């Protein structure tokens, strides 16, 4: 489980160190990191890309202008990834970004069980506050998800070495089912309003982003905005709330 956290936190810390100030990453930056992880870009490649972006800025004429967003580094990161892929051409070795730990401590398992309990509690609260009536598809999906989390918790309690990569896939599948049910329960007007908000946010950060990156970020931001608006927890080893 630690690898899932490290991917995000090490990128954030490296960016802050290169910038020289502890500036918090924006929601767009976090979605960029998530898209890099989903694309399978190794951590070390992203760190090298960030370095290259800052080196390019230091050689530019406008040295007083700071890099305020990870989005500025996107092109350098993608270029570094292309070089990385080229270097692997003809090689059978594969770089794994999200490889599962070989072992798991009791503390890790206890922490994960706590996370699953908290997610279940938040789902129950969301169900009780849901605009859908009891017995609706959304409520039924939430109930099924709560039952699935309970089953996962039981498995983890009795498993010596949990497979975190497989667990992440299971949690992502549950999240996708909740999201699909939520979207189907909303009116066209509500969905259009949320899409307009997301589109406005994305287009303020167009610089340095490719069309495919824009589309991916828009989809991810839309999903997050819907989860936040209806107080539904994200089901991921990274997003599961501890507090």
pLDDT higher than 50, residue 92: no
**Cβ neighbours of 9 (radius 10 Å):** 12
pLDDT higher than 70, residue 76: yes
CA pair distance 155, 183, nearest whole angstrom: 30
pLDDT higher than 80, residue 170: yes
CA pair distance 48, 3, nearest whole angstrom: 19
Res 9: pLDDT: 80
Helix (H, G, I), strand (E, B), or coil: what is residue 71? helix
> How much is the pTM?
0.61
Res 82: pLDDT: 87
Res 145: pLDDT: 96
Res 88: pLDDT: 78
CA pair distance 105, 111, nearest whole angstrom: 10
Res 98: pLDDT: 46
> Which of these, 122, 16, 109, lies nearest to 67 by C-alpha position?
16
pLDDT category, 159, cuts 50, 70, 90?
confident
Could you report the per-residue pLDDT of 8-18, keeping only the tens digit for each?
888 988 998 99
Residues sharing a CB contact under 8 Å with residue 18, sequence separation 6 or more, in sequence order: 50, 51, 54, 67
> Which of these, 117, 223, 219, 108, lies nearest to 176 by C-alpha position?
223
Span 214-220, mean pLDDT?
Answer: 77
Can you list the alpha helix ranges (DSSP code H) found in the chain? Answer: 2-19, 27-38, 43-59, 74-87, 106-128, 137-158, 164-185, 188-203, 211-229
CA pair distance 168, 57, nearest whole angstrom: 37
Q: Please state, rounded to an integer, the average pLDDT across all residues of the chain.
A: 80
The two structure tokens encoding residue 179: 């999201």
Could you report the per-residue pLDDT of 119-145, keeping only the tens digit for each?
999 999 988 887 666 667 889 999 999
> Which of these, 30, 36, 47, lies nearest to 201 by C-alpha position?
30
CA pair distance 242, 234, nearest whole angstrom: 12
Res 148: pLDDT: 96
Q: Is the Cβ–Cβ distance between 119 and 233 less than 8 Å?
A: yes
């Amino acid at each position: 489980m630690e690898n899932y956290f490290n991917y995000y936190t090490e990128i954030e810390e490296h960016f802050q160190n290169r910038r020289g100030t502890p500036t918090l990453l924006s929601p767009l930056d976090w979605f960029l990191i998530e898209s890099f992880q989903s694309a399978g870009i190794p951590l070390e490649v992203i760190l090298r890309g960030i370095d290259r972006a800052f080196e390019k800025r230091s050689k530019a004429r406008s040295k007083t202008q700071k890099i305020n967003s990870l989005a500025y580094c996107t092109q350098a990161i993608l270029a570094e990834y292309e070089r990385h892929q080229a270097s692997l051409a003809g090689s059978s070795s594969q770089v794994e970004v999200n490889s599962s730990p070989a072992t798991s401590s009791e503390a890790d398992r206890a922490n994960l069980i706590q996370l699953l309990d908290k997610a279940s509690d938040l789902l129950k609260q969301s169900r009780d506050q849901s605009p859908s009536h009891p017995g609706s598809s959304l409520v039924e999906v939430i109930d099924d998800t709560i039952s699935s989390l309970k089953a996962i918790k039981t498995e983890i309690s009795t498993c010596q070495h949990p497979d975190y990569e497989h667990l992440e896939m299971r949690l992502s599948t549950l999240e996708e089912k909740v999201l699909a049910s939520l979207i189907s329960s909303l009116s066209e007007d509500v969905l259009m309003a949320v899409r307009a908000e997301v589109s406005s946010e994305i287009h303020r950060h167009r610089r340095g982003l490719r069309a495919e990156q824009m589309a991916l970020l828009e989809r991810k931001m839309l999903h997050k905005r819907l989860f936040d608006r209806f107080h539904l927890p994200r089901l991921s080893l990274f997003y599961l709330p501890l507090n």
